[in-house]
Chains A and B, each alone.
Chain A
Amino acid sequence: MAEQKEIKFSEESLKVALSLMRRYPVGKQKSAMLPLLHLAQAEFDGWLSVPVMNYVASLLEIKPVEVYEVASFYSMFNLKPVGKCLLEVCHTSPCWLNGADELVQHLQKKLNIKVGETTADGMFSLKTVECLGSCGTAPMLQCGSKYYEKLTHDKMDELLDQFKQKGERPTYLDPLQ
């Protein structure tokens, strides 16, 4: 059996997690579930494995199944590994009217993957999502915490190069610039 790394938040994240749990009345710490899952996903390679969810359950002092049923309900939580850059392209009506379908096609061709797949080098995953509240600046995509709006195919290509050069995993918790 492969050696399993112990799942544990860094000291800093643990401090954040505990302070998040104190935002709710005594005994209602389960309310911190979504903030903690975001924290966990950001810390543990962009997805929630069963051991990670079990760890969150132990912090919240609840049953693991209570975490699984929540993580599987919300679209932002990935229950399978994803590439370093998860490109989430909005394809709901206002974005569609402004070229979201063409943007997805362009990305599929450029990255040589289909929606739902990850590039062989593990750099990019492509996903279509429903309305992100960016209808006036369509088409757009989200990667990590940031919105990239009014995208043309040229701008998209530049963005892909930037992501590749950086080579990092942007997360929802990245601080503002």
Chain B
Amino acid sequence: MARKILLVNDHIEGLANIDVYRRNGGYAAVEKALKTMTPDAVTEEVKKSGLRGRGGAGFPAGMKWSFLAKPPGVPRYLVCNADESEPGTFKDRYLMERNPHSLIEGMIVSSFALGARTSYIYIRGEYYYVLQILEKAIAEAYEVGLLGKNIMGTDFSLDLYVQPGGGAYICGEETGLIESLEGKRGNPRIKPPFPAVVGVWGCPTVVNNVETIAAVPHIVNMTGDEYAKIGIGRSTGTKLISASGHINKPGVYEIELGLPVEEFIYSDAYCGGISEGRSLKAVVAGGSSVPVLPAELILKTAAGEPRLMSYESLSDGGFATGTMLGSGGFIVYSETACMVRNLWNFSRFYHHESCGQCSPCREGTGWMEKILHNIESGHGKVTDLDLLVDICKKIEGNTICPLGDAAAWPVASHIRHFREEFEYHINNPEKVKDPRHCEKQPFVRKAQSNPA
């Protein structure tokens, strides 16, 4: 039986309304935390739960909270990262649209734990209609005294505001987000100092993803120890997966971490198999930034073990034969997908979204896009592939923020696993002129021999 936590009430009509939300157990965690627990006790439960950041990095949330500096007389801030922009990811939107109060409840409990008196939800500008849903829910919460002064008659007060972005992927990076919240270009900051010490307006700040914050009330309600029993190993709890691409049932699914990838792709409870009865070619498991894996490596690890939907299992084998859980943006490619065109598409994205601060990323992403466009349109050279790998190496680790890595990893992994397809493009320029050539004549890979 699939375990549901975040979406347990997803079937209930009108859940975005505060009365419906409360009738179904909503805001119980606010009452429990504010009336019976200390802020440190809440943090302790989150630590015990093993909850890891759901935005992509997977860093333990409780530990991140414990890094927050608490100099006397200086305000502290909690900022929710709702900038969801990683291609293939749409889970936060789903959660906020259908259950906005679960995020607000999480913001109240988390702000209490961190000692924040004003908190912000930074939402990507394109989700303006979701912002309106949140504003409405926040107004409802103010009306019944769940936000504002002396929440539920306690001495804890909190103001909560939503701020829209302006359309920039880079603002999902926490220091880019902070810059943007301050009304500037979203150029990421050099770390250290980390936001936990110097964040928004120079004050200590915690930035957490929507899904992370929405999990906190459930942890408070069931206790951290109980939450830690769900999932597998250090991948505790459940995760929202955004499934898209060539599958029969695209959508957002909540899975208990540890679910076999094969079950996720083929079971009718989840993706429902590959569309049009075709066969699986590749998967990008955690948003466009994580390495792509060919069918045989996403279903089984290099050691032949079944691959599971967990932080550890997906990264088994390192980047040579593994990938990452990332944001849970699960993009599925059937045999008809051209991996060269896909990579060109990804590279165009990163070139478009590079903030331009660091030369390796600003220039490198542009070069990669151009070279890949040449290959895809039948103007590639044999030396291009080594050149691409070389550019990747020069970007990776040489930039202020991880966008550089995020741009390099797909390139390196597409070439690592689909080199023959790239070579085919370079050697058969006439055959690849039609952008849909792979649909008409799927490129059949030879068996994986020796992954570089």
Q: When A34-B164, A97-B246 are in contact, do A130 and B352 touch as well, CB less than 8 Å?
A: yes
CB pair A74–B168 under 8 Å, yes or no, is yes
Q: How distant is the Cα of A74 from the Cα of B182 in the complex, in angstroms?
A: 14
Q: How distant is the Cα of A129 from the Cα of B84 in the complex, in angstroms?
A: 15
Contacting residue for A74 out of B165, B252, B284, B333, CB 8 A: B165
B175 at the interface (CB under 8 A from A): no
Q: Which of the listed residues A34, A75, A145, A176 has the most CB atoms from chain B within 10 Å of its own CB? A: A34
Q: How distant is the Cα of A34 from the Cα of B83 in the complex, in angstroms?
A: 14
CB pair A73–B242 under 8 Å, yes or no, is no
Q: How distant is the Cα of A130 from the Cα of B84 in the complex, in angstroms?
A: 12
CB pair A130–B349 under 8 Å, yes or no, is yes
Binds A, one of B119-127, B214-222, B296-304, B381-389: B119-127
Q: How distant is the Cα of A28 from the Cα of B184 in the complex, in angstroms?
A: 12
CB pair A142–B126 under 8 Å, yes or no, is yes
B209 at the interface (CB under 8 A from A): no
B180 at the interface (CB under 8 A from A): yes
Q: How distant is the Cα of A134 from the Cα of B186 in the complex, in angstroms?
A: 23
CB pair A101–B435 under 8 Å, yes or no, is yes
A116 at the interface (CB under 8 A from B): no
Work out how many contacts link A and B, with CB atoms closer than 8 A: 150
Q: How distant is the Cα of A37 from the Cα of B185 in the complex, in angstroms?
A: 13
A76 at the interface (CB under 8 A from B): yes
Q: When A60-B183, A76-B166, A135-B329 are in contact, do A146 and B129 touch as well, CB less than 8 Å?
A: yes
Those of A104-159 within 8 Å (CB) of chain B: 129-138, 142, 145-147
CB pair A97–B128 under 8 Å, yes or no, is no
- Nearest-CB distance from B279 to chain A (Å)? 15
CB pair B183–A30 under 8 Å, yes or no, is yes
CB pair A73–B129 under 8 Å, yes or no, is no
- Nearest-CB distance from A69 to chain B (Å)? 6
Name the CB-closest residue of A to B341: A96
Q: How distant is the Cα of A98 from the Cα of B333 in the complex, in angstroms?
A: 11
Name the CB-closest residue of B to A67: B183
A50 at the interface (CB under 8 A from B): no
Q: Which of the listed residues A32, A93, A137 has the most CB atoms from chain B within 10 Å of its own CB? A: A93
A33 at the interface (CB under 8 A from B): yes
A173 at the interface (CB under 8 A from B): yes
A9 at the interface (CB under 8 A from B): no
CB pair A135–B181 under 8 Å, yes or no, is no
A55 at the interface (CB under 8 A from B): no
B353 at the interface (CB under 8 A from A): yes
CB pair A92–B87 under 8 Å, yes or no, is yes
Q: How distant is the Cα of A145 from the Cα of B123 in the complex, in angstroms?
A: 14
Q: Which residues of A contact B349 (CB under 8 A)?
A: 92-93, 130-131
CB pair B342–A23 under 8 Å, yes or no, is no
CB pair B129–A97 under 8 Å, yes or no, is no
Contacting residue for B245 out of A34, A66, A97, CB 8 A: A97
- Nearest-CB distance from B29 to chain A (Å)? 25
Q: How distant is the Cα of A145 from the Cα of B129 in the complex, in angstroms?
A: 6
CB pair B185–A133 under 8 Å, yes or no, is no
CB pair B125–A131 under 8 Å, yes or no, is no
- Nearest-CB distance from B353 to chain A (Å)? 7
Name the CB-closest residue of A to B118: A25
B426 at the interface (CB under 8 A from A): no
Q: How distant is the Cα of A35 from the Cα of B182 in the complex, in angstroms?
A: 11
8 contacts between A and B (CB under 8 A): A23-B163, A32-B183, A74-B166, A93-B88, A129-B167, A130-B352, A131-B86, A131-B349
New A-B contacts (20) at CB < 8 Å, excluding given A75-B167, A130-B349, A136-B244: A25-B75, A30-B182, A34-B165, A73-B186, A74-B125, A75-B166, A76-B125, A76-B166, A93-B88, A93-B331, A94-B244, A94-B331, A129-B167, A133-B90, A133-B92, A133-B127, A136-B251, A138-B250, A145-B132, A175-B132
User: B residues touching A (Cβ–Cβ < 8 Å)?
Assistant: 75, 84-90, 92-93, 118, 124-129, 132-133, 161, 163-169, 180-186, 201, 242-246, 250-252, 284, 288, 329, 331, 333, 337, 341-342, 345-346, 349, 352-353, 355, 435
User: A residues touching B (Cβ–Cβ < 8 Å)?
Assistant: 23, 25, 28, 30-35, 37-38, 60, 66, 69-70, 73-77, 91-94, 96-98, 101, 129-138, 142, 145-147, 172-173, 175-176
Please name the 8 residue pairs, one residue from A and one from B, whose CB atoms are nearest each other, closest first: A74-B166, A33-B183, A76-B167, A135-B244, A75-B167, A136-B250, A30-B183, A131-B87
